[in-house]
């Protein structure tokens, strides 16, 4: 990153800025404001303060930090995977309770990206489980805005044909169908619930 370019483009007295603050802190603060303005009903944008390369590099730093904190980074040694196991067990138990009672229902949970990302990883949703060691290559395999954007969500939708005991399930991520590559199915994007349940129960035991 070269924060001095941004400072020079905004302030005539860069010496004063360098003495009173850190250019990189100013750059990050403005980047945070630019991001946050997406949540405000205004046509103004601060993104034009940055070059395209700066925006990409700033996002790469943010993306990598989120990846190391919450996803399947080699540095985390699986701790976030273990953190999501109680949540997955709760989801499986809730689903089984409705299925076994031959009932209907919807079970909701609300959380932040720090909960959604580990769950997506543990579910092995396509594009959410990738493990990369080289920081420079993380963005090629994992992107925060794909796994857990603002208002991000994960859905398991269950289906049962009248007169049949077989349960099918499909996964949605941000309302789009997503696959679970480790689980095989000839009915994609649908999976037999028995196959999915067995796979996840094995994961919970690891």
Q: What does pLDDT average to over the chain? A: 92
Q: Across the 206 residues of the chain, what is the mean pLDDT of every consecutive 10-residue run?
A: 86 81 90 90 91 96 95 86 93 94 89 94 95 91 93 95 89 97 96 97 93
- Interhelix angle for 193-205 vs 79-100, to 10°? 140
Structural domain boundaries in the chain: 3-50, 78-205
pLDDT score recorded for residue 193: 97
Phi, psi of 46 (to 5 degrees): -95, 0
The answer to whether 6 and 30 are in contact (CB under 8 A) is yes
Quote the pTM value. 0.88
């Amino acid at each position: 990153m070269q924060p001095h370019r941004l400072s020079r483009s905004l302030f005539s007295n860069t010496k004063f800025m360098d003495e009173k603050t850190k250019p990189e802190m100013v750059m990050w603060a403005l980047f945070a404001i630019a991001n946050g303005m997406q949540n405000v009903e205004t046509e103004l944008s601060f993104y034009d303060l940055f070059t395209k390369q700066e925006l990409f590099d700033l996002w790469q730093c943010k993306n990598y930090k989120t990846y190391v904190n919450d996803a399947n980074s080699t540095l985390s040694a699986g701790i976030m995977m273990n953190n999501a196991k109680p949540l997955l067990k709760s989801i499986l138990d809730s689903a089984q309770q409705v299925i076994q009672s031959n009932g209907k229902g919807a079970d909701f949970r609300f959380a932040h990206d720090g909960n959604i990302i580990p769950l997506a990883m543990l579910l092995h949703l396509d594009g959410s489980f990738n493990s990369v060691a080289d920081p420079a290559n993380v963005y090629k395999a994992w992107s925060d805005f794909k796994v857990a954007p603002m208002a991000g969500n994960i859905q398991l939708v269950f289906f049962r044909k009248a007169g049949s005991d077989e349960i099918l399930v499909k996964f949605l991520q941000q309302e789009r169908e997503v696959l679970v590559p480790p689980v095989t199915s000839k009915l994609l994007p649908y999976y037999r619930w028995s196959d999915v349940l067995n796979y996840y129960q094995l994961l919970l035991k690891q």
